[in-house]
Amino acid sequence: DGGITQSPKYLFRKEGQNVTLSCEQNLNHDAMYWYRQDPGQGLRLIYYSQIVNDFQKGDIAEGYSVSREKKESFPLTVTSAQKNPTAFYLCASSIQGESNQPQHFGDGTRLSIL
């Protein structure tokens, strides 16, 4: 079955450490997204990518970085510059150019600080 796979499900970060969250999709979608979810704040867009080797900052990109070397993969790195990284992170994808198409989501990664 096609879908989006996020790993790991739970992740712990030490102070000053960079960590990378994985997101892989086999839906052949061009666009991929990273969201951060905090209680009471809904989903906030971190980065998105419309095509391989291209990505744009979302609303809260500071302290995060991404790459899009393959269509299927869109990893998110939470850097040490992100001072409050504890949150639930969701990866999503969608079909390019079809605005009525919904996003498909992974199961999420919960990141906590040690």
With binding defined as CB under 8 A, does residue 108 bind another protein? yes
CB of 69 to another protein, least distance (A): 19
Sole binder of another protein in the list 14, 54, 84, 99 (CB under 8 A): 99
- Spatial contact of 23 and 77, defined as CB atoms under 8 Å apart: no
Q: Which amino acid is at 66?
A: V
Contact status: 61 vs another protein (CB under 8 A): no
Strands 87-94 and 109-113, sheet pairing: antiparallel
Can you list the alpha helix ranges (DSSP code H) found in the chain? Answer: none
- Of the candidates 69, 70, 72, 63, the residue with the CA atom closest to the CA atom of residue 91: 72
Instruction: For the chain, give the number of residues.
Output: 114
- Is there binding between residue 27 and another protein (CB under 8 A)? no
Taking a C-beta distance cutoff of 8 angstroms, is the pair 21, 66 a contact?
no
The yes or no reply on residue 112 touching another protein (CB under 8 A) is no
Taking the complex as a whole, how short is the minimal distance between the CB of residue 91 and another protein, in angstroms? 10
Q: Rule CB under 8 A: is residue 102 a binding residue for another protein?
A: yes
How many residues make contact with another protein (CB under 8 A)?
23
Answer yes or no whether residue 22 interacts with another protein by CB under 8 A.
no
Site membership for another protein, residue 88 (CB under 8 A): yes
